């Protein structure tokens, strides 16, 4: 089965930019979610290999979503990349505690995004 990347952000433009940037780069299927609850629902169906997770979201924020993904055995092994605001050190700490593997600070570098996914795809 083709592995999936789940992109979770409440801003449709950010989601669209990430999916456009990553289309066909490392053989992943791309799936979007608009908040944490949608993300958990999508994750339960897809068991994504990689999750891009916005820090600030309505309904269920990135930290809590991250924790829940980590505690569910079917998504516990996913690579979670937290999208945070520039130089928000406490947010980085909280994301680490919640089990995030990597960070991208907004505005994120599309090249970093590409390299990250290319490496994760190769591995």
Partner 1 sequence: MTSSTGASQDTVASLRDRLERLEREGTARQRQLERYAADLREIFKQERDRAQALRRSYRATVLALADAVEARDAYTGKHAERVASYGLRIARAAGVEVDPQVEFGFLLHDVGKVAVPDAILFKPGPLTAEERVLVVRHPVIGSEILRHIDFLDEAKEVVLHHHERWDGTGYPDELEGEDIPMQARVFAVADTLDALTTDRPYQAATSWAKAREVIRMEAGMQFDPAIVAAYETVPDEEFTGIRDAIA
Q: Which residues bind partner 1 (CB under 8 A)?
A: 13, 16-17, 20-25, 110-111, 114, 118
C-alpha distance from residue 30 to each of 58, 61, 94 (Å): 22, 21, 26
Closest CB to partner 1 among residues 3, 110: 110
Question: CA-to-CA distance for 94 and 80, rounded, in angstroms?
Answer: 13
- Give residues with Cβ within 8 angstroms of 56, minimum separation 6: 10, 62, 85
Q: Least distance in Å: CB of 111 to partner 1? A: 7
Closest CB to partner 1 among residues 24, 89: 24
Closest CB to partner 1 among residues 19, 79: 19
Q: Least distance in Å: CB of 92 to partner 1? A: 25
């Amino acid at each position: 089965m083709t592995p999936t990347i789940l992109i979770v952000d409440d801003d449709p433009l950010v989601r669209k930019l990430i999916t456009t940037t990553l289309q066909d780069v490392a053989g992943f299927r791309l799936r979007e979610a608009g908040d944490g609850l949608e993300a958990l629902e999508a994750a339960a169906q897809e068991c994504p290999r990689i999750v891009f997770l916005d820090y600030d979201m309505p309904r269920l924020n990135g930290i809590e979503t991250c924790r829940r993904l980590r505690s569910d055995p079917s998504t516990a092994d996913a690579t979670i990349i937290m999208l945070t605001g520039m130089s928000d050190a406490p947010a980085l700490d909280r994301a680490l505690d919640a089990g995030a593997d990597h960070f991208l600070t907004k505005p994120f570098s599309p090249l970093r995004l590409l390299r990250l996914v290319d490496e994760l795809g190769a591995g």
